[in-house]
Chains A and B, each alone.
Chain A
Amino acid sequence: MFTFQKIRSCLFYLSVLLFFSGLPLILGYALGYKFNPQSFKFIKTGLIFVKTQPSGAQIYLNGSLLAEKSPAGILELLPGSYQVSLELDRHYPWKDQVEVEAGKATRIDKVILFARQPHLTQFNRVEFSAFRVDPEKKMIYYLDQDKKLVYRSNADAGNFEDIASLPDRFNQINGWEVSPDKAKLFIYNHRQISVVYFDTQNDYEYSGSAVLIDYPQARVLNVFWHSDSYHLVVLTEKAVQVVESRPLAQPVNLVELNKAGSDAFYDIQEDVLYFSDTARNPERSFRNNLYRLELSANPDLLERLIAQPFVQGSPALEEAPDE
C-alpha cells in the first residue's frame, strides 16, 4: 500500500504541475496568443473564419493556397490586412481584402459561390403567359391567356395537366391568384372579376361554371383571397369591398376611399388589409395615411370596421382621419 500511495502522490503532484503549466498555454492559444521564437515574446494574433456555400472551397491567403478547405479557421494571423480568395471548381470565385485584429475573429461566413453553369430545368410543356408558385411550393400554376387555359404541375415539373378553362368573354387579365385551398383561382381586369373552379374539385356548389362579377361603376385595382378561400377582398378606386365568390354576389363596401389608386397589401395569415388613403387633417389640408383593416372571421366580416390610423413618425399623422 505504501508503494501505491507513493505512486499516487507522484501522480497527484504531476497532475497539479500539468494543470498549472498547461492552463496558461491552453488559455493563451484560445485567446489567440502565439509564441514568437525569434523575439521570445508572446504576440496576440487574430483569426479568419471562412464558411462558404457550398463548402469545400480552396482558400488563398495573400495568394498562397492553404491546406484547409472551407469551412475553416485560419489561426494565428498577425494583425493587419489580408487578401482572401475562395475558389471552387465550376463556381464564380470570391475575393476580398479583410482586416484581422488581435484577439478577434474576422468572420467570412456569408459567402455563396454561385455556379458558373447553373442547373436549369424547363418546367412547362406548353406555352403560357403567367405562372404562380403556391406558398408551400408544392404546385406551379400556369395561365395561357390566348388559349384561355390553366395548367398545373408539381414542383419537379411532373404531373403536368390542364385544370380549368377561362370564361370566353373575359379578354384582358390584369391579375390572378389561386385560392388558399388550391381549388380555384380568380382573374380580374378593371371591370370584371371571375372565379374559375378547377376540374379536379367536385365538392363545390358552383364548380363547373365560372363565376363572373361585373364592376360597371368603379374600376377594380386589386383583388385578394380571404383565407377562407370563399370571400374576395377587392380594392376599387372608390372603396374597399368584400364579395363572395358565387354568382350574383353583391359586394359590401367596408371602407370608402378618398383617393383613387391606393396601394394595398393583404396579409392572408392574419386576414389583414393594409392600404393607403388620403385624409383631411384639422388644418384642412390632405395627407396620405396607412390603414390596417382587420378582416378575420370574428368579428363578423360584413360588419363595417373602423379603420385605425397607422403611426408613421410625424405627430400629425397620429390623429384619426376625418370620416
Chain B
Amino acid sequence: MNRRRFLKRLLEITPGGLSWGIIILLILLAFFHPVSCAIIIISFDFYWIIRTVYLTILLVMAHQRLFQQEKEDWLKRCQSLPVISGFTQLYQLVIFPVYNEGPEVLRPSLEALAASHYPLDKLIVVVAFEAREGSAHQKAMLLEKEFKGRFGAYLSTFHPDGLAGECRTKGANATWAAKAAKKFLDAREVAYEQVLVSCFDADTCVDQEYFGCLSYHFLTSEKRHQASYQPMPVYNNNIWQAPFFARLVEISSTFCQMIESMRLEKFVTFSSHSMSFKTLVEIDYWPTNMISDDSVIYWKSYLYYNGDYRVIPLYVTVSLDVAYSSNIWRTIVVQYKQKRRWAWGVENFPFAVEGFIKNRHIPLFHKIRRSFHLLESHVTWAVWAVILVIIGPLPVVFGGNFFSHTAIAYSLPKVTGVLFKFTLLTSLTWIFLSWTILPPRPKGIGWWKHISLVVEWVFVPFIILVIGSTPALDAQTRLMLAKYMEFNSTLKGNKVL
C-alpha cells in the first residue's frame, strides 16, 4: 500500500472508527464503571438539549426569513438592477439527471420550470438520461414532444455507460450533460460567466420565484462566481399522501437544511443547488466517481478557490417527492436507504482532508476548523441516537448493586427526565413550523388529516430509534471497511400538484 492510499484509508476509517469507539467505550463503561458512564450520559444529554434549543432558535430564524421573502417579486428586483449588472444577458442552465424516473416524475418538474416567473427564453433545460436505461430514448422523445419550444432551449443527453474513471453515479451523468451544454453554449458564443447552472433531482419542482431569487443573489453578491446557491428543499410534492413515517423524516430533513442555512461557516450544498457555469467548468464539473456529488462539488470549489468559496442560502423553496413505498415496512427500508445515501456524504471527509493536505494556500486554522466540522457532524449523526436511546439506560440496567446504591444512579433518570422535558418545548415549535410549511390540502384529503399531522409527532422517538443514527453508522462502517456504496435512485412516490 503506497503512502497516498494509506492516508486515504486512514481518513476513511477515522469517522467510523471514532463513532464505534465512542459507542463501544460507553457500553464498556456502563458495565465496568457505570458512574463514569452516567456522568458522560448526563453531560451528553445536557449538551444535546442546549444544542436542540439553539438549533430550534436558528430554525425559527430561518423560517422567518423564508416567510419574509415568500412574497418577494424577485424578477422585478432583478429588472430594477442597473444594466451593468448583466441581468439581461443572464442564462439559466437547468440539468435534470435522470435514471429510472419516468415521465410522470419529470413532467411536473418541467411544468414547474415552465410556470416560472422568469423569462423562459433564458432557460436552457437539459434532461440527462443514462444510455444504459433501455427506455431512455423513448422517454426523451415523449418529453421533447411536450416541452421542446417552451424554453429557450431544450436538450436531451444520453450518458454512455462504463466511461473510463467513472462510476455509475448521478454526478457522472450530470457532468456529461454539462459538457453537452458547454458545446451548445460555445456554438452560440454565450460566455460562461453569463450562465448559472442548476442541477436538480428529477422530482424537483421549483418555486415560481426561484430563478428570479437566484439571479438577484448572484448579480448582487461579491465574488459571485465563488459561491454556490442553495434553495430550501421541501418535500411537498406528495406530503399529504405520504405515510406518517416518511413525512416526519422528510420534514425533519427540511428543517435540518433550514438550520444549516443559518450556519454559513458550515453550510454545504445539498441535493438541488445552483452555481456559476464558469466555476463549474473551471473546477472540472461534478465528481464522476463519488455518490455525494451534491456536496463534493462544494469541496472541489472550496479547494479550487483556496478556501474563498461559500454557499449562499436562497430562502425560496424547491419541492421534492417524499420517498415512500406501498407499506410502512417498505417505506422504512426506502427511507433508511435514502438516509444512508445521504450519510455516505462522510466520503467528503477523506476528500476534503486530502485536499487540505495538498493545498498550501488555505490557512491552517480554516483547514482544522472545516475538517473538525465535517468529522464532528458525521460522528454526532452516527452516535447521538445510540447514546440517548440505547446507552442512556445501560448504567441503571447493568450497573449492579454497587451502582444502584450511588446517588447518581437515582439522579440519572431524574436529571435526564427533567432535561428532556425541555425538548418538549422545542418539539412543539417544530410541530407548529411543520404545519406552516405544508402546501394547501389537496382535494380528497379530509380535514382530520391536519389533526393526524400533529398527533403523528408522538412517533418521533420510534423514528429516532429506527433511522436516527443507524444509517450514518451503516455508511461509516461501509467506508471504514472499504465496502463502497453504489448509487441507487430513491423510490419516489406519486406526485400530487
A and B from one assembly? yes
Chain A window 1-45, contacts with chain B (Cβ cutoff 8 Å), 1 for yes, 0 for no: 000110110011001001100110011011110000000000001
Q: Do A105 and B410 form a contact, CB below 8 Å, given A8-B58, A30-B42?
A: yes
Interchain CA distance A103-B39 in the complex, whole Å: 13
Contacts of A7 in B (CB 8 A): 61
Interchain CA distance A45-B414 in the complex, whole Å: 17
Quick check: is A107 within 8 A (CB to CB) of the other chain? yes
Interchain CA distance A5-B404 in the complex, whole Å: 46
Q: CB distance A31 to B408 under 8 Å?
A: yes
Identify which of B46, B53, B264, B411 contacts A23 (C-beta below 8 A).
B46
Quick check: is B223 within 8 A (CB to CB) of the other chain? no
Q: CB distance A107 to B415 under 8 Å?
A: no
Q: Do A104 and B407 form a contact, CB below 8 Å, given A4-B262, A8-B58?
A: yes
Shortest CB-to-CB span from B416 to chain A, Å, is: 9
Interface residues of A in 221-276 (CB under 8 A from B): none
Quick check: is B145 within 8 A (CB to CB) of the other chain? no
Instruction: Name the residue among B405, B409, B410, B415 with the largest chain A CB count within 10 angstroms.
Output: B410
Closest chain A residue, CB of each to CB of B414: A73
Contacts of B57 in A (CB 8 A): 11
Chain B window 383-421, contacts with chain A (Cβ cutoff 8 Å), 1 for yes, 0 for no: 000000000000000000000111111111011000100
Quick check: is A106 within 8 A (CB to CB) of the other chain? yes
Interchain CA distance A32-B406 in the complex, whole Å: 9
- The majority secondary structure among interface residues of chain A is helix
Q: Do A107 and B61 form a contact, CB below 8 Å, given A15-B50, A15-B54?
A: no
Q: CB distance B61 to A12 under 8 Å?
A: no
Contacts of B412 in A (CB 8 A): 30
Quick check: is B47 within 8 A (CB to CB) of the other chain? yes
Quick check: is B196 within 8 A (CB to CB) of the other chain? no
Interchain CA distance A133-B419 in the complex, whole Å: 50
Shortest CB-to-CB span from B420 to chain A, Å, is: 13
Interchain CA distance A27-B410 in the complex, whole Å: 13
Interface residues of B in 44-76 (CB under 8 A from A): 46-47, 50-51, 53-54, 57-58, 61, 65
Quick check: is A49 within 8 A (CB to CB) of the other chain? yes
Q: CB distance B47 to A30 under 8 Å?
A: no
Q: Do A107 and B43 form a contact, CB below 8 Å, given A7-B61, A8-B263, A12-B54?
A: no
Quick check: is A57 within 8 A (CB to CB) of the other chain? no
Identify which of A15, A22, A46 contacts B51 (C-beta below 8 A).
A15
Closest chain B residue, CB of each to CB of A49: B410
Chain A window 162-174, contacts with chain B (Cβ cutoff 8 Å), 1 for yes, 0 for no: 0000000000000
Interchain CA distance A4-B47 in the complex, whole Å: 23
Shortest CB-to-CB span from A171 to chain B, Å, is: 56
Q: CB distance B46 to A22 under 8 Å?
A: yes
Shortest CB-to-CB span from A4 to chain B, Å, is: 6
Closest chain A residue, CB of each to CB of B409: A105
Shortest CB-to-CB span from A136 to chain B, Å, is: 31
Q: CB distance B405 to A23 under 8 Å?
A: no
Q: CB distance B43 to A27 under 8 Å?
A: yes
Q: CB distance A107 to B411 under 8 Å?
A: no
Identify which of B43, B54, B410, B419 contacts A47 (C-beta below 8 A).
B410
Contacts of A27 in B (CB 8 A): 39, 42-43
Q: CB distance B407 to A30 under 8 Å?
A: yes
Shortest CB-to-CB span from B219 to chain A, Å, is: 16
Shortest CB-to-CB span from A306 to chain B, Å, is: 42
Number of contacting residues on B, CB 8 A? 29
Contacts of B407 in A (CB 8 A): 30-32, 45-47, 103-105
Q: CB distance A11 to B58 under 8 Å?
A: yes
Q: CB distance A23 to B408 under 8 Å?
A: no
Contacts of B415 in A (CB 8 A): 26, 29-30
Shortest CB-to-CB span from B218 to chain A, Å, is: 15
Closest chain A residue, CB of each to CB of B401: A107
Closest chain A residue, CB of each to CB of B64: A4
Interchain CA distance A15-B406 in the complex, whole Å: 30
Contacts of A8 in B (CB 8 A): 58, 61, 262-263
Quick check: is B38 within 8 A (CB to CB) of the other chain? yes
Contacts of A106 in B (CB 8 A): 405
Interchain CA distance A296-B166 in the complex, whole Å: 69
Interchain CA distance A73-B51 in the complex, whole Å: 30
Shortest CB-to-CB span from A297 to chain B, Å, is: 40
Interchain CA distance A45-B58 in the complex, whole Å: 40
Closest chain A residue, CB of each to CB of B47: A19
Q: CB distance B50 to A18 under 8 Å?
A: yes
Q: CB distance A107 to B404 under 8 Å?
A: yes
Identify which of A19, A30, A47, A73 contacts B50 (C-beta below 8 A).
A19
Q: Do A103 and B262 form a contact, CB below 8 Å, given A4-B61, A15-B50, A26-B42?
A: no
Interchain CA distance A144-B107 in the complex, whole Å: 89
Closest chain B residue, CB of each to CB of A32: B407
Q: CB distance B405 to A104 under 8 Å?
A: yes
Instruction: Name the residue among B39, B46, B263, B407 with the largest chain A CB count within 10 angstroms.
Output: B407
Interface residues of A in 45-61 (CB under 8 A from B): 45-47, 49
Interchain CA distance A233-B52 in the complex, whole Å: 69
Q: CB distance A105 to B47 under 8 Å?
A: no
Shortest CB-to-CB span from A45 to chain B, Å, is: 8
Shortest CB-to-CB span from B54 to chain A, Å, is: 5
Contacts of A49 in B (CB 8 A): 410
- 10 sampled A-B residue pairs with Cβ under 8 A: A8-B262, A23-B43, A26-B46, A27-B39, A32-B407, A45-B407, A46-B407, A73-B410, A104-B405, A106-B405
- Excluding A8-B61, A11-B58, A19-B46, 4 further A-B contacts by CB distance (< 8 Å) are A19-B47, A22-B46, A27-B42, A105-B410
A residues with a Cβ closer than 8 A to B are 4-5, 7-8, 11-12, 15, 18-19, 22-23, 26-27, 29-32, 45-47, 49, 73, 103-107
B residues with a Cβ closer than 8 A to A are 38-39, 42-43, 46-47, 50-51, 53-54, 57-58, 61, 65, 262-264, 404-412, 414-415, 419
Closest 9 CB pairs of A and B: A32-B407, A30-B411, A15-B54, A105-B410, A30-B408, A15-B50, A19-B50, A30-B415, A103-B407
